[in-house]
Structure 1
């Protein structure tokens, strides 16, 4: 197999070729390395391609049968491998815990061959840090790949691997999926276990999954990574059949809530709104019932609740950083934390001690208000992001020394207005690359399902992919192709 052929296939397609003997897992790893060596110096998405990648373990078989995989450098861990969280504070750290997610990856035949960039501590939606530099969007090198799974998204979009690990605590899978032209699902709370030592992370706000290019890869990944483990705080309703089998099932007639109005302080760009309207019209042509909905929270109430949530999480995060710093024998200062994260730490350390009950009440209140507002609908259609990909830095980077913590928080809250609410509620939410701007940039639209109902998302996403296929739309900066920067 040549590199130009490798980058054409999704993970499911490569797995089938391994199964039929047309290619071997070793050949795929060598092709991934070739793709990495060609493209990564330009986009800076992979911070470590394992020296022993050709000998990494993985089942001979499983749904993914030897397909190369990448790990985001925060969240789920591989025992003994570096995990630095994009931060100088954690430079050189090697966890001794193997996350269930990577155990399942190996059992399914995925071969984890390296780790991808993330902003420091996953705080920002722009993947740039003092430790690893700027990750560039393969569609336009002057623009952000999103975050905090921006390295994973850029690597998949550019063809290094067809699928990569990501995590989402406020939009960190869906945002880079939207800006890099990928499929990005944030599963229901509890669908993917964070065990053995991080179940229900951040009060259930953060979930791990993957970024990929096709709906069938997403369905297969759900089958691989779903399922409870001992220590999980609750067991979510389990699917009636494998998710890959849902690809053959009809979607039925769905009640669709359409979010045309902004949910934050940034207006939705006209091209994004046009893509939203066009997709709503397509859903109506398919026979679904589309109804416009208002924002599920009043802006002032939403901002108040988000402040209470972020205040509580920041203070818990500050305590966790102090504990980690003591263990590592390092100080928390400007040499170990970037400007915005240091300001958050100092603000949280010096603030009045929060009440855990207040945090729980704010989470409960937002879950109730949003859940009640969207309950009449089988799915909700929103923009993923109100804009196409934005330039690097500015008010969205934790490396910016001129911003206050409040300015950074408010800017981020406005930009990710359609995303973080569903981390709080736990609903599964999926970004699909359903359109492009006039300048050729991807436009992602978000479909939100009922809690625990990833099956409906698989079926409707399949229908939309068939009606408006996107797999042949590729960025100019990709492996095996003449390199262009728009």
Structure 2
């Protein structure tokens, strides 16, 4: 019987502090779980087991997560001496020669990295099915997607391989897999965590990095470890008032929460996703919060989707060209999946003027979106338009390489607003469908106000616990 599989990272670290378990015992148990379930799920695509065991045997930094096993996503975040493929065969020979600032902070907290998790090519789709790394499967139903682009991280955490794992989010890639796999996923405020050193203004600051967790307190404690601007960053989040771990134990008070059900793409929302929002609203009212309905519309928001795509595809061009420069190889169509290459060509065709117009309009839209918080503490909405779809749902039909973009936009249309405006947002697992699939609900908070989200999430976790729910593939 594995004594650690049901413990979150905070509890595992406490065992090490009390000398009731050693880092090596935690690491060996996690490795055994990976070896047991990864052949089914394909969540972990690189393993560093020998190096992890060596680190666990040595003198680890004394931090909040000393000895706790962890996984990095195979996207954006550099780890010295280990391939960073971005889910693409084009990147298979890319081996960074130094850790990124985020990895340095994670290692200083005492974490032990066991390997890297699956991601779609260049992190572009809300599913994890790259041709290079192969499809990742959802532990709740292995015929379904775990979401993306942090699908490997979500499958690894939901199945109990590790208590939490690194994730990134440029349009929902933390919240999407959290909703699909029954996890807590917080996207921090823009600039809260470092993106350096190799990445500067990638994707016009749509990207943030954090983690997928089973408990709210793990997310808060990890953000305490990693947050803060790195040297030379052009953008910084507002300072936090105190450690986020203290917020988890602080009652949120009576909050004003507004429901936004209008779908930004005009897509039909699945009844289970609507039921999840309405159930969350009833729970919030039972907890004493004031809940009403409203709209997040701002003038010109009918064009914001196109502006987002212009900036986002410019980021695709940047990502591929930067990778090409690092590996000394020119990109060609044969190196990429048809969808990725189509986005790259689309981004090239937009031109500088279109990019500058789009980025300016997104800034205007961001300022307008902030005014929706003048009398509201948080907005409640679906995380996704439907429960986890079948694998293959986002495949490109022959001759239609851009088709997955429309399908992806309809699936996750509630997510990009938080990236566009730089706002913190979280998916909370409060609902399960009639056929046993997790369905997350999304809360979006004020700029810089992760504190309120953590207080609210911890209250919801206590009122409607989710950690005891177990997928078909677990432990």
| Residue 222 (structure 1) shift | 1.4
Q: 2:7 corresponds to which residue?
A: 9
Residue of 25, 28, 51 corresponding to 2:26 = 28
Aligned-partner SS, 1:137:
coil
Aligned-partner SS, 2:106:
helix
Cα deviation per residue 1:72-97 (whole Å; 9 max; x = unaligned)?
00011111211100001111210123
Q: 1:344 corresponds to which residue?
A: 343
My pick for the range that moved more, 261-270 or 437-446, is 261-270
Note closer, same or farther for the CA distance 1:261–1:53 as it changes in structure 2 (3 Å cut).
same
Take 1:287 and 1:188, find their aligned partners in 2: how far apart are those partners?
A: 27
Q: 1:484 corresponds to which residue?
A: none
On the 8 A contact 1:192/1:208 being kept in 2, the answer is yes
Take 1:344 and 1:191, find their aligned partners in 2: how far apart are those partners?
A: 28
Q: 1:461 corresponds to which residue?
A: 457
Take 2:361 and 2:404, find their aligned partners in 1: how far apart are those partners?
A: 21
Cα deviation per residue 1:384-439 (whole Å; 9 max; x = unaligned)?
11211001123x24x6544242x332222222111001101011000111110111
| Residue 173 (structure 1) shift | 0.4
Aligned-partner SS, 2:167:
strand
Residue of 397, 407, 422 corresponding to 1:411 = 407
Q: 2:91 corresponds to which residue?
A: 90
Q: 1:161 corresponds to which residue?
A: 162
| Residue 224 (structure 1) shift | 0.8
Task: Using structure 1 for the length normalisation, give the TM-score.
Answer: 0.93
Cα deviation per residue 1:443-476 (whole Å; 9 max; x = unaligned)?
1011111110111111110110010000000101
Aligned-partner SS, 1:410:
helix
On the 8 A contact 1:315/1:354 being kept in 2, the answer is no
Q: 1:427 corresponds to which residue?
A: 423
Q: CA RMSD in A?
A: 1.8
Q: 1:447 corresponds to which residue?
A: 443
Q: May I ask how many residue pairs the two structures share in their alignment?
A: 472
Q: 2:466 corresponds to which residue?
A: 470
On the 8 A contact 2:314/2:355 being kept in 1, the answer is no
| Residue 186 (structure 1) shift | 0.3
Q: Establish whether residue 180 from structure 1 lines up as the match of residue 181 from structure 2.
A: yes
1:99-248 correspondence runs (5 A) = 99-248=100-249
Cα deviation per residue 1:268-323 (whole Å; 9 max; x = unaligned)?
2112212211211111122211110124247xx43522212322442453255245
Aligned-partner SS, 1:52:
helix
| Residue 201 (structure 1) shift | 3.5
Aligned-partner SS, 1:71:
strand
Take 1:316 and 1:34, find their aligned partners in 2: how far apart are those partners?
A: 38
Aligned-partner SS, 1:273:
helix
What runs of 5+ residues in structure 1 fail to find an aligned partner? Answer: 480-486
Task: Using structure 2 for the length normalisation, give the TM-score.
Answer: 0.95
Cα deviation per residue 1:92-145 (whole Å; 9 max; x = unaligned)?
210123111111111111111100010000011110111111000000001000
1:307-322 correspondence runs (5 A) = 307-322=306-321
Take 1:288 and 1:364, find their aligned partners in 2: how far apart are those partners?
A: 31
On the 8 A contact 1:296/1:373 being kept in 2, the answer is no
Note closer, same or farther for the CA distance 1:16–1:386 as it changes in structure 2 (3 Å cut).
same
Aligned-partner SS, 1:362:
helix
Take 2:195 and 2:351, find their aligned partners in 1: how far apart are those partners?
A: 31
What runs of 5+ residues in structure 2 fail to find an aligned partner? Answer: none
Q: Establish whether residue 290 from structure 1 lines up as the match of residue 286 from structure 2.
A: no
| Residue 61 (structure 1) shift | 2.5
My pick for the range that moved more, 450-459 or 193-202, is 193-202
